Amino acid sequence: MVVLWACALMCPAACASERAGDERASADARYMARWVVQSGDHQGMPFAIVDKKDAKLLVFAPSGRIIGVAPALLGSAPGDHSVPGVGLREVSAILPSERTTPAGRFISEPGRNDTGEDVVWVDYDAALSIHRVRSGNARERREQRLASATPDDNRISLGCIVVTAAFYDAVVSPTLGKRRGVVYVLPETRPVHDMVGAYQLSLQAQ
């Protein structure tokens, strides 16, 4: 199973090429995917990895096969924790320093936001979701940021994981938009190995 996802990530000509394009996975993302499959931590559910340092979303089938990888917009503020109660506030009341995409392991589920749009909830209480890019404020140039060659300009959201409509409809919706899954948001303030180590201790205690 590990061979399947590794080949698809590293070889754009493989079966995932239409959806993954020329995107590559970072060493951290490959390490995390390998650990998820080998440990069985995803419990037979589809899963996704949010690589904040590389500003990418990777989506996997329950078998560990890579389905697609694409650039993502993330919280404008660096940090791996969300402020308690931030999901209950009006957007205008969320300070710039509080607009983080928190790291961790989340059980996702499909749902709808307050406008009726279908989204994948990563953390409902924190109002954290994966959703399609919206036109919004033209000055934010969100579509252009997603299309840029580097992750340097991908920090613009309130904290949500934002992808193109095409990637959402072709990859996210059929995989995570139909059933529960697991979303692993990699940290940016500490090594990913530390995050996995904590989960490994939890698994051994079960």
Question: Can you give the pLDDT of all 206 residues of the chain as single tens digits?
Answer: 333 444 444 333 333 333 444 468 999 999 999 999 999 999 999 999 999 999 999 999 999 999 999 999 999 988 887 776 665 556 666 666 678 899 999 999 999 998 999 999 999 988 899 999 987 677 889 999 999 989 999 999 989 999 999 999 999 999 999 999 999 999 998 999 888 876 654 545 44
pLDDT for 135: 74
What single-letter amino acid sits at 21?
A: G
CA distances from 126 to 38, 72, 99, 200 (A): 30, 19, 11, 25
Of 167, 199, 177, the residue nearest 186 (C-alpha): 199
Domain boundaries, the chain: 2-201
- The predicted structure's pLDDT at residue 3: 36
| Side-chain half-sphere CA neighbours of 199 within 13 A | 19
3-class secondary-structure state, position 48: strand
Q: What is the pLDDT of residue 111?
A: 97
Instruction: From 125, 121, 117, select the one nearest 88 (Cα to Cα).
Output: 125
Pairing assessment for the beta strands 128-132 and 56-60 based on DSSP bridges: unpaired
CATH number assigned to the domain with residue range 2-201, chosen from the 4 options 2.30.30.40, 2.60.120.890, 2.40.440.10, 2.40.100.10: 2.40.440.10
What are the tokens at 92?
């205008």
CA distances from 146 to 127, 161, 195 (A): 22, 12, 27
